[in-house]
Amino acid sequence: MSLIIYLDGEYVPEEKAVVSVFDHGLLYGDGVFEGIRAYNGRVFKLDDHLVRLYESARTIDMEIPLSEAEMQEVVLETLRRNNLRDGYIRLVVTRGKGDLGLDPNKCIRPTVFCITASIQLYPEELYEKGLIVVTVSTRRNVPDAVTPRVKSLNYLNNIYAKMEAKLAGVPEAIMLNAQGYVAEATGDNIFIVKKGVLITPPSYIGLLEGVTRNTVMDLAREKGIAVEERVFTLHDVYNAEECFLTGTAAEVIPTVMVDGRVIADGRPGSMTRELITAYRELTKVDGPLIFPGETTGCCGR
């Protein structure tokens, strides 16, 4: 049975969900997107994802033809039509159909589509054992060229880094910025623990400000854990007490070896495990209900 896709005001079978070959999202990567998760009949942090989507669109001077409230209903209705209570949502807005030139003003109206399906980025055993990652030579885009704060359809920078990771035989890689500071992974944000403090790079050095990243920082503060956004180098990663990555698909996943250096004792740390548990508990109760009237979790948040 084919998936049902939202495309420009209609819900159509996936084989009929087609965009023009003149769409500038396809031709030039001109557009924005969000990856979102549904858990237990709720769409986790949907408001935060929509805020980032509309901020990204504003930065590239693209007006989304739906309000945030209308876009929320698109997400929920697409899940309903696919009878999904748990799954992954890809919400995409392109510049739309234009000509073969670069001029975005030739694109009359943005294209909007929403896909809902299932996803598992990493096997469960890696959440128990931890990831092995490497640092790659591909540097993160500099903010004054293509700002990583915009979650754009142009992901070549990340893809180059992912290719290096695969050549090294590992599932993920750390990317540095132009100055040599740790920025993020190819699709995830990075955290380290030093002297009991949870540290993550600040967004201004050139990284996507992840919804999961911000959620984890909030959870840590609620638990009384000191959290800092500050620059750090690979030296700090190699000598960290703990290290983990965060992302919508990855959630919170431990990292136990970087560039052949074992992190601490080579096992996921206690703070990492605590935050994994807290994050998973929050996914059970946070976000709008997909099917109104259903009861999920124990207490809304």
Answer whether residue 298 shows pLDDT above 60: no
- Asked if 157 contacts 151 with a C-beta cutoff of 8 angstroms, the reply is no
d(CA 172, CA 255): 10
Buried-state track 264-280, b at ≥16 Cβ within 10 A, e below 16: eeebbbebbbebbebbe
- pLDDT number for residue 1: 72
Q: Angle, to 10 degrees, between the axis of helix 68-81 and the axis of helix 46-59?
A: 130
Ranges for all domains in the chain classified under CATH 3.30.470.10 = 4-117
pLDDT in tens, 53-68: 999 999 999 999 999 9
Contact call for residues 135 and 174 (beta carbons, < 8 A): yes
CA distance 229 to 50: 23
pLDDT exceeds cutoff 70 at 52: yes
Query: Is the pLDDT score of 5 beyond 50?
Result: yes
* 3-state class (DSSP) for residue 130: coil
162-200: pLDDT as tens digits: 999 999 999 999 999 999 999 999 999 999 999 999 999
Conformational region of residue 77, where left means phi above 0, alpha means psi within -120 to 50, and beta covers everything else: alpha
Mean pLDDT estimate for the chain: 95
- pLDDT-above-90 percentage for the chain: 93
CATH for 4-117 (3.30.70.890, 3.40.50.80, 2.40.440.10, 3.30.470.10): 3.30.470.10
- Is pLDDT above 50 for 74? yes
Please report the beta strands in the chain, taking only residues with DSSP state E, as ranges in sequence order.
Answer: 4-7, 10-13, 31-39, 42-43, 87-94, 111-117, 131-135, 172-176, 182-185, 189-194, 197-200, 227-229, 242-247, 251-258, 261-262
Q: Where in the chain is the domain with CATH 3.20.10.10?
A: 124-283
Evaluated on CA atoms 240, 242, 248, 249, the torsion sign reads: positive
Q: What's the length of the chain?
A: 301
- The pLDDT tens digits for 123-146 are 999 999 999 999 999 999 999 898
- Over 60: is that where the pLDDT of 300 sits? no
What local confidence, expressed as pLDDT, does residue 301 receive?
A: 27
Element containing residue 271 per DSSP (H, E): helix 270-283
80/228 Cα distance (integer angstroms): 39
Give residue 8's region: left, alpha or beta (phi > 0; psi -120 to 50): left
Whether the CB-CB separation of 55 and 77 falls below 8 Å is answered with no
Give pLDDT tens digits for 87-124.
999 999 999 999 999 999 999 999 999 999 988 778 99
Residue type at 37? R
Average pLDDT over residues 252-264: 98
Say which of 16, 45, 97, 151 is annotated catalytic.
151
Whether the per-residue pLDDT at 295 is higher than 70: the answer is no
> What pLDDT sits at residue 120?
77
**Three-point CA angle 11, 17, 23, nearest 5°:** 120
Mean pLDDT of 255-260: 98
Q: Whole-angstrom Cα distance, residue 64 to residue 95?
A: 9
Lowest-confidence pick of 80-84, 238-242, 280-284, 291-295 = 291-295
- pTM of structure: 0.94
Q: Is 194 a catalytic residue?
A: no
**What pLDDT is recorded for position 119?**
80
Judge whether 232 and 195 are in contact, CB under 8 Å.
no
> How far apart are the C-alpha atoms of 29 and 146, rounded to whole Å?
12
Residue 299 binned pLDDT confidence (cut-offs 50, 70, 90): very low
CATH class, range 124-283: alpha beta
